[in-house]
Amino acid sequence: MKLKTKIIGSKVHDVGYRVFLLRKALELGVERFNAYNIKENGTQALVALLEGNEDQIHGFADFARSNKPENADVMDVIIEDYEGYVTGIGDFMHLMQVEQLSKGIPAILSIDRKQDSMLGKQDSMLEKLDETKKEIVGEIRDLRWDLKSYMEQRLVKIESDIAHIKEKIELN
């Protein structure tokens, strides 16, 4: 027996629906399964094809009617007989892996480009930090020089005051 299930809704793509249905097909022992996303009249739809015995077909149909992934928004589930070819479930799983890789590779390349950009910004920030450090060290050196000069002047004044006081004490 063959079955075509069409799931229509505002959010049935990119919610893990195909894997959700694949998992059920595997659980039922189905050997031929395929699922793909389409758009019909601007609305998201998912088509699942299944070939199996009567129990597998009915179990899958019942599951598809009464279950959905957490973030899916389903308006209708249409189940009908199907006469065409249905891919082997192993081939479908390989296809899903290739599809996921084709999504992942651009994401990895994007991350790589962003990382390169961030490293360039980090280098620029480190250069600015080095410049700021040099400025601060220079300011500290200048402050130390100013403080040293001030202290030397104060010391000279204090020594002068002490000498003046000694003179007055000796005169008395």
Residue 110 lies in a domain: no
> pLDDT of 61-87, one tens digit each?
999 999 999 999 999 999 999 999 999
Find out whether 7 and 48 touch, Cβ atoms under 8 Å: yes
pTM of the model: 0.63
Range of the domain at 65: 2-87
Report if residue 16 sits inside a domain: yes
- Overall number of domains in the chain: 1
Task: Give a yes or no: residue 171 inside a domain.
Answer: no
pLDDT digits 0-9 by tens, 47-68: 999 999 999 999 999 999 999 9
Q: For the chain, which ranges sit under pLDDT 70?
A: none
Burial class (CB in 10 A: 0-12, 13-18, 19+), 140: exposed
On whether residue 37 sits in a domain, the answer given is yes
CATH code, domain with 19: 3.30.70.100
Q: Does 136 reside within a domain?
A: no
pLDDT of residue 106: 82
Beta-carbon count within 10 A of 31 CB: 15
Let me know if residue 142 belongs to a domain. Answer: no
Residue 101 lies in a domain: no
- Rounded Cα distance between 37 and 23, Å, is 17
pLDDT at 54: 96
Place of tokens 């739809």: 45
Establish if 132 belongs to a structural domain. no
Contact at 8 Å (CB) between 19 and 26? no
